């Protein structure tokens, strides 16, 4: 496991795709939290989560006080998060936003509901565009479950390899969900701004080419 940053109170790792952050329903399935706790011989506190299929920056607190601080930073939307997403279709606009409420529809699937959903906002910027695929930077303002995946699907540009939000037959041929937590900035109690970055997997650019 690649450690991006650590001190006495914080641990930031580069999460690989395909492993859950916390235990799933089947307790025998490995999760990142337990693997790290066993490897390092310490208790860790989950600050935020990434979907099992998503890779990139993941923060853990090593003390209860830091856990409270970081949880409030996320809750109050003071954490700046940047994702990279490879999506279907050619996006011609340079940037945009999706302001669409989201709610749970059942079986773990989220969706846009203008009447009953919770406020959800995502900004995005174009990075590279091919004939049938586009690579974009995504900046979620709120932190709803599956928010980026739902909003990009709602735009008509589902994330490549997303079996939950997209046409299943066309999504099956891809090796993974092409969503990566690329950068993160958050304030620490000492006043320092913690800036983290995880390299975008080469796979993203390979398929775009």
d(CA 26, CA 17): 19
Asked if 46 and 22 touch (Cβ cutoff 8 Å), the reply is yes
Contacts made by residues 20-24, CB under 8 angstroms, sequence distance 24+: 20/52, 21/46, 21/49, 21/50, 21/52, 21/58, 22/46, 22/49, 24/52
Rounded to an integer, what is the distance from CA 42 to the centroid of its chain? 25
Identify the residue whose tokens are 């092409």: 178
d(CA 12, CA 98): 29
Indicate the helix (H) or strand (E) that contains 51.
none
**107: three-class secondary structure by DSSP:** coil
* Residue from 51, 99, 113, 162 carrying the catalytic annotation: 51
Catalytic: 99?
A: no
What are the residue numbers of the active site?
51
């Amino acid at each position: 496991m690649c450690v991006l940053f650590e001190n006495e109170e914080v641990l930031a790792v580069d999460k690989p795709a395909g492993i859950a952050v916390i235990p799933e329903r089947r307790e025998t399935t490995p999760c990142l939290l337990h693997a790290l706790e066993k490897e390092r011989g310490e208790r860790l506190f989950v600050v935020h989560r990434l979907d099992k299929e998503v890779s990139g920056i993941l923060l853990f607190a090593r003390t209860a006080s830091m856990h409270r601080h970081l949880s409030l930073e996320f809750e109050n939307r003071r954490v700046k998060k940047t994702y990279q997403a490879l999506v279907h279709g050619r996006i011609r606009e340079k940037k945009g936003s999706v302001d669409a409420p989201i709610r749970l529809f059942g079986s773990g699937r989220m969706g846009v509901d203008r009447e009953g959903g919770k406020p959800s906002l995502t900004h995005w910027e174009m990075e590279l565009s091919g004939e049938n695929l586009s690579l974009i930077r995504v900046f979620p303002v709120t932190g709803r479950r599956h928010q980026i995946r739902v909003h990009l699907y709602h735009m008509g540009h589902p994330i490549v390899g997303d079996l939950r939000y997209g046409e299943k037959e066309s999504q099956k041929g891809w090796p993974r969900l092409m969503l990566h937590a690329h950068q993160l900035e958050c304030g620490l109690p000492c006043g320092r701004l913690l800036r983290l970055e995880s390299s975008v997997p080469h796979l993203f650019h390979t398929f775009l080419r």
